Amino acid sequence: MVVKTSKERIFEEAANLFREKGYQASSMRDLSDRVGLKPSSFYNHIKSKEEILQKICLDNAMKFVDGMKAIKKDSTDPLEQLQAVIRLHIDIAIKDRSSVTVFNDEWKHLSEPHLANFLKMRKRYEKEFKNIIETGIKKKVFRKVNPAIALFTILTSLKWIHYWHKPKRKISVKDLEKDIINLLVNGVSS
Amino acid sequence: MVVKTSKERIFEEAANLFREKGYQASSMRDLSDRVGLKPSSFYNHIKSKEEILQKICLDNAMKFVDGMKAIKKDSTDPLEQLQAVIRLHIDIAIKDRSSVTVFNDEWKHLSEPHLANFLKMRKRYEKEFKNIIETGIKKKVFRKVNPAIALFTILTSLKWIHYWHKPKRKISVKDLEKDIINLLVNGVSS
């Protein structure tokens, strides 16, 4: 059994709270109540609500950045790379739903310079992703479409999984990945 | 030249304001300043901020509901229906960017019973959309995937256009539609 530190529990409960109530509507009091820590001890671990948002956004951004780096190292084939990127998004969405929801929906509440850093990381990630598509088009592995349109259509198409995927759906991650990759790579048309 | 009424100008500016600042952070004072009306005259037209949000959400929901109804009347072929639904989403996203952004991002701030009504309309729309996919799979026009996965992958894949599409991109609506339909129907693979 993994014993969590108070700080880990605070971040975990904060992600749940922000997902349920929204970041702006959540207070530090809500959070300390939820974790069951007295304010005096709570503030030993965390200074501000935004400190938590910063960590959630940065941690998730790093999962994508590191994942993309590993994918580009593992293969130079654009189709294999694209499939691996789709799997990366699905895996992150499923492993920590609350955290990825906050990352997706609440990043705009970051203050500067955190917001600018976040947007810079996102832009770099999108550029790496677009580069896979452009290489695929050049190698005639992918169809000739506007690479930005393909990038955003594919990238955005993966942004529902963390809302929808629950154990009660009884769909394995493998089947989910298979269907989504099939739809995006080969299309809905049979 | 179309002369807009004060009420029309208020709704238009409200959509722009909510898109830029977010619904929660926008005040009625911000709005009356923007429209250039004195509070006394402003409140003759609009009672509350939420009244505006309700209208924006309902108007956009009705565009989708009416569009879907027309599509099902025009054709019984699932592939034609799907292509028409994709065009419907693109057209709505492009015609009124501010309004559709508020509809997409701020509906959760509706109070009851408006929120429940909104979610009921959305659920019904998703059911109609899923029905097209299920029919297509049954007729072997579409590939055999989980219909809910196909529904949400396709539906979500269309939620970036209102952020991205600007006249300076110099991409015609026709080319945008062609690429997106091609990607979703036939896949990125060539």
ipTM score for this prediction: 0.92
Phi and psi at residue A142, to the nearest 5°: -110, 155
Domain B1-47: state its class.
mainly alpha
Three-state secondary structure along chain B? CCCCCHHHHHHHHHHHHHHHHCCCCCCHHHHHHHHCCCHHHHHHHCCCHHHHHHHHHHHHHHHHHHHHHHHHHHCCCHHHHHHHHHHHHHHHHHHCHHHHHHHHHHHHHCCCCHHHHHHHHHHHHHHHHHHHHHHHHHCCCECCCCHHHHHHHHHHHCCCHHHHCCHHHCCCHHHHHHHHHHHHHHCCEC
The residue whose two tokens read 């790379």 is A81
Q: What confidence score (pLDDT) does residue A8 get?
A: 87
Q: pTM of the prediction?
A: 0.93
CA distance A81 to A84: 5
A189 - beta bridge partners? B142
pLDDT interval class at A80 (50, 70, 90)? very high
Amino acid found at A60: N
The answer to whether residue A24 neighbours chain B at the CB level (below 8 Å) is yes
Provide CB contacts within 8 A for B164, sequence distance 6+: A148, A152
Q: Say whether pLDDT at A14 is over 90.
A: yes
- Architecture of the B48-186 domain: Orthogonal Bundle (1.10)
Mean predicted confidence (pLDDT) in B126-154: 98
Task: Tell me the pLDDT tens digit for each residue of A87-126.
Answer: 999 999 999 899 999 999 999 999 999 999 999 999 999 9
Q: What confidence score (pLDDT) does residue A6 get?
A: 83
Q: What confidence score (pLDDT) does residue B57 get?
A: 97
Q: What confidence score (pLDDT) does residue B170 get?
A: 85
The answer to whether residue B187 neighbours chain A at the CB level (below 8 Å) is yes
Asked if residue A150 lies in contact with residue B179, where contact means CB atoms within 8 angstroms, the answer is yes
Q: What confidence score (pLDDT) does residue A50 get?
A: 95
Question: CATH 1.10.10.60 in chain B, residues?
Answer: 1-47
Q: Say whether pLDDT at A185 is over 90.
A: yes
DSSP state of B110: P
- Architecture of the A50-186 domain: Orthogonal Bundle (1.10)
pLDDT interval class at A5 (50, 70, 90)? confident
CA distance A7 to chain B (A): 30
**From the list B152, B175, B183, which residue is nearest A153 (CB)?**
B183
Asked if residue A139 lies in contact with residue A78, where contact means CB atoms within 8 angstroms, the answer is yes
Q: Say whether pLDDT at B1 is over 80.
A: no
| Cross-chain Cβ contact B188/A154 below 8 Å | yes
Nearest residue in A to B186, CA atom: A187
Q: Say whether pLDDT at A28 is over 80.
A: yes
CA distance B184 to A157: 10
The answer to whether residue A188 neighbours chain B at the CB level (below 8 Å) is yes
* Chain A 59-118, residues with CB within 8 Å of chain B CB atoms: 79, 82, 108
Asked if residue A186 lies in contact with residue B187, where contact means CB atoms within 8 angstroms, the answer is yes
Asked if residue B94 lies in contact with residue B161, where contact means CB atoms within 8 angstroms, the answer is yes
Task: Tell me the pLDDT tens digit for each residue of B46-72.
Answer: 989 999 999 999 999 999 999 999 999
CA distance B184 to chain A (A): 5
DSSP state of B24: T
| Cross-chain Cβ contact B164/A183 below 8 Å | no
CA distance A92 to B136: 31
CA distance B132 to chain A (A): 12
Q: What confidence score (pLDDT) does residue B87 get?
A: 98
The residue whose two tokens read 């894949």 is B157
Q: Say whether pLDDT at A2 is over 80.
A: no
* Chain A 127-156, residues with CB within 8 Å of chain B CB atoms: 133, 136, 140-146, 148-150, 152-156
Question: CATH 1.10.357.10 in chain A, residues?
Answer: 50-186
| Cross-chain Cβ contact A183/B148 below 8 Å | no
Neighbours of B138 (CB within 10 A): 12
**From the list B24, B133, B179, which residue is nearest A149 (CB)?**
B179
pLDDT interval class at B165 (50, 70, 90)? confident
Q: What confidence score (pLDDT) does residue A74 get?
A: 97
Q: Say whether pLDDT at B185 is over 90.
A: yes
Question: CATH 1.10.357.10 in chain B, residues?
Answer: 48-186
Q: Say whether pLDDT at A40 is over 90.
A: no
Mean pLDDT for chain A overall: 94
